[in-house]
């Protein structure tokens, strides 16, 4: 049986997309890559020391929205199911990874926002059969979903929060166990993956043991831009690195 951690993360994030399956929205897409020019910025040490964090309202306003992602369903409701419930980790060094997986705060941000994006379900033709609708629903359940957070920090808080995620990826490469709402979930491995460089960025592939011989590979990403930290956790039947979503979100962070 799947653990509570898996159920909460997967089923909560799926609820919105299943509700919208009936209307079978069309898809589009847009997004541009975010780029930084180091020469246009003050030195990292000067910027970090003088940085003042934004509020929750300011950070929430910088999250990706439905307007930004035409081919996905965006809903803050989908990201909120596990946000307030802490998890216990058998290796304390791995806690930042679990916080990203649950769309929780890493460190002590002054402002924080979270949302969820899920690939839109297949658009069904008029008069589609019940069987076709069922198949489309099952595909929607397994579609990629990404939990997104953006956080702002005073001083060097963003650097410290990013450093904790990066260190966790190294310390926890051999896996770790999470206890969440009384259930235990085994994460088999954490391995570095490719990602385009920003101020600081990491990408890890995380293999989760779902039980009964089932495995699931997710993509965990953390990117620092100045005194802001954006995190992403993507999961699904055959989850792919959320490159376009990362780029759009970083563009909105400025």
Contact (CB, 8 A) for 221 and 201 = yes
Q: Tens digit of pLDDT for each residue in 138-188?
A: 555 568 999 999 999 999 999 999 999 999 999 999 999 999 888 899 999
Tokens for 121?
A: 């379900």
Mean pLDDT over 1-28 rounds to 39
CA separation for the pair 192, 170 (Å, rounded): 8
Other beta carbons less than 10 A from residue 78's beta carbon: 23
SS3 (DSSP) at 220? strand
Burial classification of residue 223, based on how many CB atoms lie within 10 Å of its CB (0-12 exposed, 13-18 middle, 19 or more buried): buried
Of residues 140, 116, 94, 90, the one with CA closest to residue 8: 116
Q: Tens digit of pLDDT for each residue in 92-132?
A: 999 999 999 999 999 999 999 999 999 887 666 676 666 65
DSSP secondary structure of 6-55: HHHHHHHHHHHHHHHHTT--------------GGGS--HHHHHHH--PPP
CA separation for the pair 218, 233 (Å, rounded): 7
């Amino acid at each position: 049986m799947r653990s509570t951690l898996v159920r909460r993360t997967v089923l909560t994030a799926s609820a919105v997309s299943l509700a919208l399956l009936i209307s079978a929205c069309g898809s589009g897409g847009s997004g541009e890559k975010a780029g930084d020019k180091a020469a246009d910025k003050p030195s990292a040490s000067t910027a970090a020391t003088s940085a003042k964090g934004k509020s929750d309202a300011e950070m929430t306003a910088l999250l990706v929205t439905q307007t930004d992602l035409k081919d996905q369903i965006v809903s803050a409701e989908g990201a909120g199911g596990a946000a307030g419930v802490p998890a216990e980790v058998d290796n304390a060094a791995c806690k930042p990874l679990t916080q990203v997986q649950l769309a929780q705060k890493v460190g002590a941000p002054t402002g924080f926002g979270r949302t969820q994006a899920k690939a839109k379900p297949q658009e069904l033709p008029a008069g589609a059969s019940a069987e076709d609708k069922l198949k489309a629903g099952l595909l929607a359940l397994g579609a990629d979903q990404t939990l997104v957070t953006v956080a702002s920090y005073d001083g060097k808080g963003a650097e410290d929060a990013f450093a904790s995620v990066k260190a966790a990826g190294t310390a926890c490469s051999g896996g770790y166990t999470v206890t969440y709402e009384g259930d235990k979930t085994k994460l088999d491995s954490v391995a570095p993956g490719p990602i385009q460089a920003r101020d600081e960025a990491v990408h890890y592939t995380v293999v989760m043991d779902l039980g009964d011989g089932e495995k699931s590979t997710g993509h965990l990403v953390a990117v620092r831009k100045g005194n802001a930290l954006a995190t992403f956790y993507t999961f699904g039947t055959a989850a792919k690195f959320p490159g376009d979503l990362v780029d759009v979100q970083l563009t909105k962070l400025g």
